[in-house]
Each structure stands twice: as structure tokens, then as C-alpha cells.
Amino acid sequence: MSVVLLVAGAACRQREEAPKPPPPAPPVVAAKPVAPPVVPASADSALVARGRYLAESVLGCVGCHTERDYGRFGGPVSGPVLAGACFGEEWEMPGTLCAPNITSDPEHGVGRWTDEQLLRTLREGYGRDGRTLFPMMPYMEWRTTLSDGDARAVVAWLRTVPAVARATPPSKLLPEVTAEIQDLAAPLPGPVAEPAADPIARGRYLATVAQCAFCHASADEEPKPFAGGRAAPTPFGAEPIPSLLPGGPVMKGLDEDAFVARFTAFKDLGAAPSRKGQVNKLAMPWQAFASMKEEDLRAMYRFLKTQGTPTRRASGQ
């Protein structure tokens, strides 16, 4: 849902097909039409395990591309993994956005896509047939940040996801929004390296690709990462997004163990019934982050603690 905060703006009526406006230069760099054969699943089990962890816990692929029961606290997953899910006006979308079936099904999923096509979708923004994806699919956040190794790991895991033969309805965006996003898909400028091994650098990396920086940014025109102040629309009303800066209400007084515990507390999601009219914790991807590795949660905490503290040069004023 996150990118919606940035792009969607006001809730609007959806329309049928865009009445073919003069196309603003079709994406010529589009992924080529798909040709069999199916790319075999990677035999590297460590890579597949890494990809699964990223897709389920850190990058939120499963949380968006799978049906969830948003009537329940935290929105537990309720459909077959990665078989597709749609978001409409109740999420203040500019139309209906469908995160498609990306299981290994050859017809309805990505079973016939090449690795290259999948990699391009993740960080360049090209979908099926080369169309530009609405940036709710977080390719803009991942373009120059998600490392080549991690992107490949996700693709390796995708190959192993059981096929579900179910078509996802196509997204239906307002025509003006379709026109507006055409330039967003773009080729990668170059290779994306792994982050350095120290906890702060890894924490920065994780807080970026997990979109903490993005969702928890300020509401300013030039959003300040982690400063808080926006609100995330949900079917039960907007959820205010707090600051994650060290001096803010969340992080102040929260030690590292308590920070980790905030996340792991959501491991047993789905037990509580809907609490309509109340904050249901649907926007923050707790269901995904609850299973982040402890060392990763700790790395993010340590990194967050370095944010917003005056640098030596700036501390004079």
C-alpha cells in the first residue's frame, strides 16, 4: 500500500478502459514478448532460502500479492501464496490496483517469464508485455537500492512457488494516472552492490528496501525519511504513521530489546477479530516484519538511532 501515499493522492472513481489517449511514447525498452522454455528453478538452496526470506519478511511481496483478511487485526494472509490480490477505493487507490498472480503458473503467473524479465520488473518497473507498472509495486524504492544478489535471490525463490491457475483481474487506473506514470519505468543505471557488512550499513539497507524510510517519511513536499507525519489509508480509516527518529515518541526510551519485541509480538497474527472503527494495524506490514531475523531488526534499530542526531558540523547551531 505504501506507494499509494506518494502517488495516489485523492480517492477517485474508477473508469473502464482508458479511452486510448495519444500514447506518450510507448515504453520501447519494454521486456521482450515471452518465449518458452521455462527457466529452471535455481538449484542453489541458499539463494532460494534468502529469496524466500526477502519475499516473505523484508520486501513484502507475499503481503501484497496474496489475498489477506483485512477484516481481522493485522490482515493475516488468507489466500494461496502469491496468487494475486486487488486494492480499490477502500485503500484510496486511483482506480483498482491488482497485484497479479506471480506464482510459477505458466499461463496466469510468471512461469514463462525469463529471469531477466523478473529482474526488470523488480527494479525497472516493467510489467507483463512491457507496460509501466503503477509504483505501488515498489520498483522506485528498489531501483538503485535492492542489491543484484538479493534481486536474484527473490527470482530464484519465485521459481519454487507452487503454481496457482487463477487469473488476476487487470488493474484499472484512472486514465490521467496511467498517463502520468509512463516515465517512471526506466532501465537500471548500473549494477547495485551489496551493503557493507557492518550493522549500521545493513540496517540502512534494510530500512530502505523494507520501505520504513518511505512510509515513515514526513508529509513535506520534500519528505524527510523516518520523520513521520503521513497517514496510511485503510478500509477502516487512516492510520497515522509515527516518526522513527531517535527523539520521536516511538524510539525515545525504546531500547533495542523492546524494539525487537514490538515486531516479534505480531508473530501470532490473526487470532484477534476485526475491530471496526479502530486502528486495526493494517498498514504497517507487521505480518511480514514479525518474522524478520533478530539480527536484522537489531541492525535497523542501530541504524535508526543514528538518524536525526546532529552531525558534528551541524551541532553548533
Please, what is the minimum distance in Å from the beta carbon of residue 277 to ligand HEC?
A: 15
Please, what is the minimum distance in Å from the beta carbon of residue 317 to ligand HEC?
A: 30
Within 13 Å, how many C-alpha atoms sit on residue 110's CB side? 29
User: Smaller CB distance to ligand HEC: residue 44 or 129?
Assistant: 129
Please, what is the minimum distance in Å from the beta carbon of residue 113 to ligand HEC?
A: 7
Please, what is the minimum distance in Å from the beta carbon of residue 161 to ligand HEC?
A: 10
User: Smaller CB distance to ligand HEC: residue 2 or 307?
Assistant: 2
Q: How far apart are CA 18 and CA 20, in angstroms?
A: 5
Report the candidate in 187, 210, 177, 173 with the shortest Cα–Cα distance to residue 64: 210
Report the candidate in 26, 28, 30, 31 with the shortest Cα–Cα distance to residue 117: 31
Q: Which residues bind ligand HEC (CB under 6 A)?
A: 1-2, 55, 59-61, 64-65, 97-100, 102, 110, 118, 121-122, 127-128, 133-134, 136-138, 154, 158, 171, 207, 210-212, 215-216, 232, 239, 241-242, 244, 250, 262, 281, 283-285, 289, 300
What is the pairing mode between strands 95-99 and 172-173?
Answer: antiparallel
Q: Write out the three cell numbers for 41.
A: 528453478
Tell me 210's DSSP state: T
User: Smaller CB distance to ligand HEC: residue 271 or 314?
Assistant: 271
User: Smaller CB distance to ligand HEC: residue 167 or 196?
Assistant: 167
User: Smaller CB distance to ligand HEC: residue 128 or 315?
Assistant: 128
**CB-based contacts of 91: which residues, under 8 Å, 6+ apart?**
1, 4, 97, 233, 234, 235
Please, what is the minimum distance in Å from the beta carbon of residue 43 to ligand HEC?
A: 20
Helix (H, G, I), strand (E, B) or coil at 314: helix
